[in-house]
Structure 1
Amino acid sequence: MSQHHPPSTLAALGRTWVEAWNARDLERVLALYDEAAIMTSDRIPMLGFDPSGTVRGKDALRTYWGKALGLVPQLHFSLIDLFVSPDSVVVLYANERGKKICEYLRVNDAGLIVQGSANHLVG
């Protein structure tokens, strides 16, 4: 049975995630992820990656996010709220264009992110 992470630990992970992105420090972001992590976003096919919208593994994440960072030099996330469950944190933030996004981050027993999903507003 997987252990449950304290809400404070998951909230701290969410804050660290935002800070790492705002520092544009890709390796700091990737350090929060498990080697076998998967990420799903509608931006993945838009940037020419897997048409399914999912990338698998840290190397694929590095390639995808490296391209994304190059395309958005002004990237900045403003944290709005954090929501926690025993094995995940949802980060609600606004990006540099003021668009609100929810990022679902599921963590393993070691506290590393194994699944990420960027959820955008419809319309």
Structure 2
Amino acid sequence: MILADRWADKWIDAWNRRDLEAPLALYAPAVEMRSPFAKVYAVDGMVCGIESLRDYWGEAMRRMPRLRLEKRAVYSGHLALTLHYEDDSGRNCVETFLFDKEDRVVFETACYDRLR
């Protein structure tokens, strides 16, 4: 069973440490991730599979070496959670994660208050 606040803290901490493998360990091999920024890497804005997600996040970490995330709120659902965080530029993001029965992310979607 996912403990939403603990899971969100672990995810944000991994991003803030630039530990690419730590958040990836929370995901299923066949994960699908949707983001307006993924449209740069995939025509349909979907990143499919753990290896593609590794490439996508690796590039994001390279391009934004000082990115810092701060948790604002976490909302729990059945095999789901939504995380609201703010980045160091003041941009707000709300990400929803859907989990399989092994508590691994199988789907993620990100929404931002502004894209720039």
TM range (shorter): over 0.9
Aligned match for 2:7, one of 10, 13, 34: 13
Amino acid at match of 1:33: Y
Question: How many Å separate the matches in 2 of 1:12 and 1:118?
Answer: 19
Question: How many Å separate the matches in 2 of 1:122 and 1:64?
Answer: 20
Question: How many Å separate the matches in 2 of 1:68 and 1:109?
Answer: 29
Contact 2:91 2:114 in 1 (8 A): no
Which residue matches 1:115?
Answer: 107
Give 1:122 deviation, angstroms.
Answer: 5.6
Indicate whether 1:28 and 2:22 are aligned: yes
Question: How many Å separate the matches in 2 of 1:111 and 1:36?
Answer: 14
Q: Percent identity between the aligned chains? A: 27
Structure 2 unaligned blocks of 5 or more: none
Give 1:103 deviation, angstroms.
Answer: 0.8
Give 1:96 deviation, angstroms.
Answer: 1.5
Which residue matches 2:88?
Answer: 96
Contact 1:11 1:89 in 2 (8 A): no
Which residue matches 1:84?
Answer: 76
- Higher mean Cα deviation, 100-109 or 113-122? 113-122
Question: 1:82 is paired with a residue of what secondary structure?
Answer: strand
Return the TM-score normalized by structure 1. Answer: 0.88
Deviations 1:31-77 (A, max 9, x none): 0101110100000123xx11100010000000011111100011110
The number of aligned residues is 115
Give 1:86 deviation, angstroms.
Answer: 1.2
RMSD of aligned Cα (Å): 1.3
Q: Which ranges of 4 or more aligned residues in structure 1 deviate by more than 4 Å?
A: none
